[in-house]
Amino acid sequence: MLIYFGGPLFNEAERAFNAQLAAKLEERGFAVFLPQRDGFEIDSPKYQGMSMMEKQEAIFNLDRDKLLEADIFLFVLDGRVPDEGACVELGIAYAQSYLLGRPKYLVGLLTDFRIFSPGMELNAIIFGALDSIVDDQDHLIEELEGWRSSQQVISGRL
């Protein structure tokens, strides 16, 4: 079962958190596509000679394809506002699940206690697109393992 890991990855703390959580999920038997680790590496010899526009297109294409392949979209919602790239990824995952009827579990992890507006922790569109939102890693793992078990029952793999 493949998890696409969406969220901020632009500073050392974010990347460390993402790597630690991805490792924890992999220990539980999930395959994880972590863009900072498994995605496009701008300095890779494979991409030398590309313009910045070509590199951006390569990043988008790889991430989109992995997102569409994934069974689960994990959105780390932490930060003053949700990561804009992950918001687009959520839209793609939601469209695939809702409009095309492909089972995909869309889960948000929100450990940040800052709120975005009085009385509402998340934008209604982000909130509505997610199947569930959890507030810590232990609850996340419980949710993901529960969903994996339900999918195995549906597919007759238990």
Q: Give me the half-sphere count of Cα atoms (radius 13 Å) on the Cβ side of residue 132.
A: 14
Which DSSP category does 31 fall into? Answer: E
**Helix residue ranges, H only, the chain:** 12-27, 35-38, 52-69, 84-94, 124-129, 137-155
Lowest-confidence segment of 3-17, 67-81, 127-141, 144-158 by average pLDDT = 144-158
pLDDT (tens digit per residue) in 90-124: 999 999 999 988 889 999 999 987 765 556 678 88
Local confidence band at 8 (pLDDT 50, 70, 90 cut-offs): very high
The answer, yes or no, to whether residue 158 has pLDDT greater than 80, is no
Determine the 3-state secondary structure of 67 from DSSP.
helix
Tell me: the pLDDT tens digits for 22-67?
A: 999 999 999 999 999 998 876 677 788 889 899 899 999 999 999 9
What's the CA dihedral at 132, 142, 113, 78 to 10 degrees? -70
Domains with residue ranges and CATH for the chain = 2-155 (3.40.50.450)
Question: pTM to 2 decimals?
Answer: 0.91
CA dihedral 90, 95, 100, 106 (to 10 degrees): 30
